[in-house]
Chain A
Amino acid sequence: MTNLDFTTLLPYINLLPAAIAITLQVGLGGFILAIVLAIVVGSLRTRKLNWAVHLVLTAYVEFFRGTPLLVQLFVVYYGLPSFGIRIEPMIAAIVTMGLNSGAYLSEVVRASILSVDRGQYEAAAMLGYNSLQTISQIILPQALRIAVPTFMNGFSSIIKETSLISVLPVVELTKLGNQIYAKTYHPFEIYITMAIIYFVMTYSVTFLAKWLERRLSVWVN
Chain B
Amino acid sequence: MGELIKISNLSKSFADTKVLQSLDMRVNSGEVVAIIGPSGSGKSTLVRCIAGLEPVSGDEILLDGEAVVNTASTHGKVGMVFQNFNLFPHFTVGENIIKPLKTVLKMKVDIATEKAKTLLDKVHILDKFDQYPNSLSGGQKQRLAIARALAMEPEIIIFDEPTSSLDPKLAHEVFETISDLAKEGQTMLIVTHQINAIRRFATRVVFLNKGKIEVEGTPDYIFNQADNQILQQFLKQVDFADI
Chain A complexes with chain B: yes
Contact A122 B104 (CB under 8 A): no
Task: Find residues 104-135 in chain A having any chain B CB closer than 8 Å to their own CB.
Answer: 117, 119-120, 122-123, 125-129, 133
17 inter-chain pairs at a CB distance below 8 angstroms, sorted by A residue, are: A119-B86, A122-B53, A122-B80, A122-B82, A123-B80, A123-B82, A125-B53, A125-B71, A126-B79, A126-B80, A126-B149, A127-B100, A127-B148, A128-B105, A145-B90, A220-B89, A221-B89
Please tell me if A10 contacts chain B, counting CB pairs below 8 Å. Answer: no
Q: What distance in Å separates the Cβ of B76 from its nearest Cβ neighbour in chain A?
A: 5
Contact A126 B134 (CB under 8 A): no
Please tell me if B132 contacts chain A, counting CB pairs below 8 Å. Answer: yes
Contact A128 B84 (CB under 8 A): no
Please tell me if A218 contacts chain B, counting CB pairs below 8 Å. Answer: yes
Q: What distance in Å separates the Cβ of B44 from its nearest Cβ neighbour in chain A?
A: 12
- Contact size class for A? 20 to 34
Closest to A116 in B: B89
Contact A219 B134 (CB under 8 A): yes
Task: Find residues 200-218 in chain A having any chain B CB closer than 8 Å to their own CB.
Answer: 218
Contact B100 A117 (CB under 8 A): no
Q: Which of B53, B134, B149 interacts with A220 by CB under 8 Å?
A: B134
A159 to B76: give the CA distance in the assembly, Å.
Answer: 49
Task: Find residues 87-115 in chain B having any chain A CB closer than 8 Å to their own CB.
Answer: 87-91, 99-100, 103-105
A129 to B149: give the CA distance in the assembly, Å.
Answer: 13
Known: A129-B104, A219-B134. 9 other contacts (CB 8 A): A117-B84, A119-B84, A122-B53, A126-B51, A127-B149, A128-B100, A137-B103, A219-B90, A221-B134
Contact B88 A129 (CB under 8 A): no
Among B74, B75, B103, the most chain A Cβ lie within 10 Å of the Cβ of B103
A218 to B133: give the CA distance in the assembly, Å.
Answer: 10
Task: Find residues 134-162 in chain A having any chain B CB closer than 8 Å to their own CB.
Answer: 137-138, 141-142, 145
- Contact size class for B? 20 to 34
Closest to A217 in B: B134
Whether A128 contacts B86 in the complex (CB less than 8 A), given A133-B103, A220-B134, comes out as no
Closest to B48 in A: A122
Closest to A131 in B: B72
Contact A142 B89 (CB under 8 A): yes
Q: What distance in Å separates the Cβ of B214 from its nearest Cβ neighbour in chain A?
A: 28
The 10 closest A-B pairs by CB, nearest first: A123-B86, A119-B86, A125-B71, A219-B132, A128-B104, A126-B80, A127-B100, A141-B90, A128-B75, A221-B134
Please tell me if B152 contacts chain A, counting CB pairs below 8 Å. Answer: yes
Closest to A120 in B: B86
Q: What distance in Å separates the Cβ of B187 from its nearest Cβ neighbour in chain A?
A: 16
A138 to B51: give the CA distance in the assembly, Å.
Answer: 20
Closest to B80 in A: A126
**Contact residues in A for B86 (Cβ distance below 8 Å):** 117, 119-120, 122-123
A137 to B89: give the CA distance in the assembly, Å.
Answer: 12
Contact A120 B88 (CB under 8 A): yes
Q: Which of B84, B134, B152 interacts with A127 by CB under 8 Å?
A: B152
Among A125, A142, A218, A220, the most chain B Cβ lie within 10 Å of the Cβ of A125
Contact A128 B88 (CB under 8 A): no
Residue interface bits B47-61, CB-to-A below 8 A is 1, else 0: 000011100000000
**Contact residues in A for B149 (Cβ distance below 8 Å):** 126-127
A129 to B74: give the CA distance in the assembly, Å.
Answer: 12
**Contact residues in A for B51 (Cβ distance below 8 Å):** 126
Please tell me if B78 contacts chain A, counting CB pairs below 8 Å. Answer: yes
**Contact residues in B for A133 (Cβ distance below 8 Å):** 103-104
